[in-house]
A and B are shown apart, each in its own frame.
Chain A
Amino acid sequence: MSIVSKVVFKVGDDISTDIIYPGRFMATVLPSETLQYAFADNEVFNKKLNAKQVPPNSVIIGGKNFGCGSSREQAASTLKGHELIIVAKHFARIFLQNAINLGLKMIICPDIDASEGDDIEITDTEVINKTTGKRFAIQPLPKARQAIVDAGGLIPYAKQRMLAMHNK
C-alpha cells in the first residue's frame, strides 16, 4: 500500500475529542450527519471541510495523545466521513479503538515531523515527508486490533462472531 497525499491540518499534543467534535453536537449520531461538525470550533478548517475543499485521504498531523477525553464515537465517525488520514505520535486508547472499529485510517508515527502543505507518502512501514525528504517509521497497531482491521471494522467482525455463536 502506498498513499500520496498532502498535510491539510496540523495540531498539537493532547487534542481532545471536545476539540474534534464538541459536546454540544453529541445528540447528532448518524455518521452522515456528524460530518458537518468536524473540528467545529476551528472555523477555518471546519469551513474548508464542509465546502469539500479537502480531498479524500488528506492528512492531519497530530501530536501525542490524539483523541484524549470523552469516548464519543462521533469524533472518529466525523473524521472517517471526510475520509481523512490521521498521522499522530500516538493516540488515546478509546479514540484509537473507535477509529479502528469504524475503519478510520490512522497511523502511529512516534517521530513524525511535517507541516501544513507538506507532501506526504505513506507506505506500509513508513511515512515519507516528500517536502523535507525525511522518513519516519510507522509503529504497528496494537496486535489485538489487527483482526478487526482485517475484517473491515468491528461490525463485520462482530457479525461473523454473532453468526458463529448462533450456528453453534
Chain B
Amino acid sequence: MGMTMVQKILARATGQASVKVDDVLEPRIDLAMSHENAAIVINQFQEIYKDTGIEAKVWDPSKITLIFDHRVPAETSKTATNQEKIRKFAAQQGILKFHDIRGDEGGICHQILPENGYVRPGYVVVGTDSHTTSHGALGAFSFGIGGTEMSAVWSLGHALNIEVPGTIKVTVEGEFPPHVYPKDLVLHLIGLLTAEGANFKVIEFHGPTIKKMSTSGRLVLCNMSVEAGATSGIVPPDEETLRYLKEEAGVTDKIEMMSPDPDAVYDREIKIDVSKLVPQVACPHTVDNVKPIDEVKGIKLNQIVVGSCTNGRLDDLEIVAGILKGKKVARNVRMIIFPASARIYRQALKKGYLEIFMEAGAVVMNPGCGSCLGVHQGALADGDVALATTNRNFKGRMGNPKGEVYLCSPETAAVSAITGVITDPRKGG
C-alpha cells in the first residue's frame, strides 16, 4: 500500500520500510525549535535528570535551535530574565543555532528556520509553537509540541509515542485572480474544514497552483493549517523547493528529494479551484468564521497589523508598499508593520519599502511576533477593531478580550489602511 508524504518521512525516521496510520512510533528528530518558552523546556529538561547523578546534556546541540521572537526586545524584567536563562543555557550546551535579539540575524522563528536552510525535505521537525506546521512548506513533517514534550526530545533525540496521522489531500487548481493570494486560499480552506476539521491529521497540498506557488506562499498555507486543527501541513518538495533552499537560504550541500507514493491512501480528498476565489476575511472570534470580503466591507477599523509568521515576508511587504506609495493611512487607524526577520527588514529598507510605509503614516517595528499574541507592541483598546495579516483572531488575542480581530491578506490590509474601513482590494483604496 502506498504511503503519503508524512508516512514516508516517518518510515525513514524510524528505519522501517513502511508505516501505516495509527502506528505508534518514536521518530528521530532532525530539528527541535523553541522560542522564549524554552524557559519551560529548560526547567523540565533539568527535572528529567534530577536525582539521577547524570549530567543534563542535550542529545545533539547541532539539532536544536533557539530563537527569541515573542517578546523582543523584552517588554518586562520577567521576560528579560527568561531570555537570559535561555541565553546561558544555549552557551553552556553549545547550541549554535541561537538567534538572539539582533538586527543582523534575528526574527520570527518560522522565518528564521527556512531562510537559514535549517529545514530540509524529509526532516522531522518539532517546535514548541503551534505554527511549527509552517515548515511543511519545505517538504518536512513539522509539528508543534508542548514544553514538557520538548524536554524529552532534548534528552532522547526522539519524539515519544507519536501516532502516524491520517492525511487530507488538498488539490489546488486554477490561476489566482488579481488581488487574491495564498492567504485567501488558506482562509477559504479553513472555513471549509472548520477549526477542528483536520484535528490529528496532516494536510498535503497538491495541484498545478501549488506547483507554481513560491515557497513564501506555501509557508502561508502550511503555517495556517493548524487553524483547521492539522498536526501539520506539507507540500511535496519540487524545483521551487530546491530554488528556495539554494538561492534564498544559501544551502550548498546535497538536498534529498521525496514524494508521496502515487497510490498513497488519503482520509479525504478536497479539490479547490482558485480562479473564482474572492478575497476572504476571517471574522471574530474564530479563524474558521470566514466570509467573502463583500459581506464584511465597510466595517470601521482602529488598527491594521501587517506581519507575523504568516504574512511578514518580503513579497508581502512589497504588495503593501505598492498600495501605500504616495498615499496616507487614514487618520482614524494605526497601522503597525512587522517585517518577519532582520534579513527581510534590511531587504525592505534597501528597496525603499520602509520609507514608503513611514511616509504613509505606518509605524515600522522591529522583527518579532509583536501584537499578534497580545503581549506588547499594539494592544487593542476596549471596543477596538483590528484587521491583521496574522493567523489568529481568538477572543483576547490582541491583548484585549473587548477588542475584535479580523484576518486577511496583506493587500486587503493595505487598501483598508487607506480607507479606514474593511475594503475590497479589487475595487481599490
Q: Do A and B originate from a single complex?
A: yes
Chain A interfacial positions (CB closer than 8 Å to B): 14, 16, 18-19, 22-24, 26-30, 41, 64-65, 68-74, 76, 90, 92-94, 97-98, 101-102, 142-145, 147-148, 153-155, 157-159, 161-163, 165-166
Say whether, besides A69-B130, A94-B144, A163-B52, A18 and B394 are in contact (CB < 8 Å): yes
Question: Contact: B195 with A14, CB < 8 Å?
Answer: yes
Cβ of B110 under 8 Å from chain A: no
Say whether, besides A18-B394, A73-B37, A93-B199, A161 and B231 are in contact (CB < 8 Å): no
14 A–B contacts, CB within 8 A, in A order? A23-B397, A26-B36, A27-B375, A28-B78, A69-B392, A98-B148, A98-B149, A147-B161, A148-B160, A148-B161, A155-B151, A158-B151, A162-B155, A163-B54
B352 → chain A, closest Cβ, in Å?
33
Question: Contact: A94 with B71, CB < 8 Å?
Answer: no
Contact of A19 among B48, B70, B148, B396 (CB under 8 A): B396
Question: Contact: A27 with B48, CB < 8 Å?
Answer: no
Question: Contact: A157 with B24, CB < 8 Å?
Answer: no
Q: Which chain B residue shows the least CB distance to A99?
A: B146
For A102, the chain B residues whose CB sits under 8 A away are: 148
Question: Contact: B146 with A76, CB < 8 Å?
Answer: yes
Q: Which of B40-54 contact A (CB under 8 A)?
A: 40, 43-44, 47-49, 52, 54
Question: Contact: B148 with A16, CB < 8 Å?
Answer: no
Question: Contact: A161 with B156, CB < 8 Å?
Answer: yes
Docked Cα-Cα span, A28 to B43, in Å, equals: 13
Question: Contact: B40 with A29, CB < 8 Å?
Answer: yes
Question: Contact: B149 with A41, CB < 8 Å?
Answer: no
Contact of A154 among B24, B144, B160 (CB under 8 A): B160
Which among A26, A71, A94, A154 has the highest number of chain B CB atoms within 10 Å? A71
Q: Which of B230-269 contact A (CB under 8 A)?
A: 231
Question: Contact: A155 with B82, CB < 8 Å?
Answer: no
Query: Does more than half of chain B's interface fall in helix, strand or loop, or is it mixed?
Result: loop
Question: Contact: B401 with A41, CB < 8 Å?
Answer: yes
Chain B interfacial positions (CB closer than 8 Å to A): 22, 24, 36-37, 39-40, 43-44, 47-49, 52, 54, 70-71, 76, 78-79, 82, 128-130, 132, 144-149, 151-152, 155-156, 160-163, 195-196, 199-200, 229, 231, 286, 288, 373-375, 392, 394-397, 399, 401
Contact of B48 among A26, A68, A98, A158 (CB under 8 A): A158
A29 → chain B, closest Cβ, in Å?
5
For A101, the chain B residues whose CB sits under 8 A away are: 146, 148-149
Question: Contact: A41 with B392, CB < 8 Å?
Answer: no
Question: Contact: B156 with A162, CB < 8 Å?
Answer: yes
Say whether, besides A27-B82, A73-B37, A18 and B396 are in contact (CB < 8 Å): yes
Question: Contact: B395 with A94, CB < 8 Å?
Answer: no
> Could you list 18 further interchain pairs (A-B, Cβ under 8 angstroms) beyond the known A14-B195, A73-B37, A93-B229?
A19-B396, A22-B396, A22-B401, A27-B82, A29-B82, A41-B395, A65-B196, A68-B195, A69-B394, A70-B392, A71-B144, A73-B146, A101-B149, A102-B148, A154-B160, A155-B44, A159-B48, A163-B54
For A166, the chain B residues whose CB sits under 8 A away are: 54
For A144, the chain B residues whose CB sits under 8 A away are: 24, 161-163
Docked Cα-Cα span, A76 to B44, in Å, equals: 14
For A22, the chain B residues whose CB sits under 8 A away are: 374, 396, 401
Docked Cα-Cα span, A157 to B375, in Å, equals: 34
Docked Cα-Cα span, A117 to B111, in Å, equals: 47
Question: Contact: B196 with A26, CB < 8 Å?
Answer: no
Question: Contact: A70 with B373, CB < 8 Å?
Answer: yes
For B54, the chain A residues whose CB sits under 8 A away are: 162-163, 166
Question: Contact: A162 with B195, CB < 8 Å?
Answer: no
Contact of B43 among A19, A29, A145 (CB under 8 A): A29
For A24, the chain B residues whose CB sits under 8 A away are: 374-375, 399
A71 → chain B, closest Cβ, in Å?
4
Docked Cα-Cα span, A83 to B52, in Å, equals: 28
For B148, the chain A residues whose CB sits under 8 A away are: 73, 98, 101-102, 153-155
Say whether, besides A65-B229, A144-B162, A144-B163, A23 and B146 are in contact (CB < 8 Å): no
Docked Cα-Cα span, A68 to B155, in Å, equals: 27
Say whether, besides A94-B130, A155-B151, A158-B151, A26 and B146 are in contact (CB < 8 Å): no
Question: Contact: A92 with B229, CB < 8 Å?
Answer: yes
Q: Which chain B residue shows the least CB distance to A162?
A: B155
Question: Contact: A92 with B199, CB < 8 Å?
Answer: yes
Contact of A65 among B36, B162, B195 (CB under 8 A): B195
Question: Contact: A157 with B146, CB < 8 Å?
Answer: no
B305 → chain A, closest Cβ, in Å?
14
Question: Contact: B394 with A26, CB < 8 Å?
Answer: no
For B146, the chain A residues whose CB sits under 8 A away are: 71-73, 76, 94, 97-98, 101
Docked Cα-Cα span, A71 to B155, in Å, equals: 20
Contact of A71 among B36, B129, B152 (CB under 8 A): B129
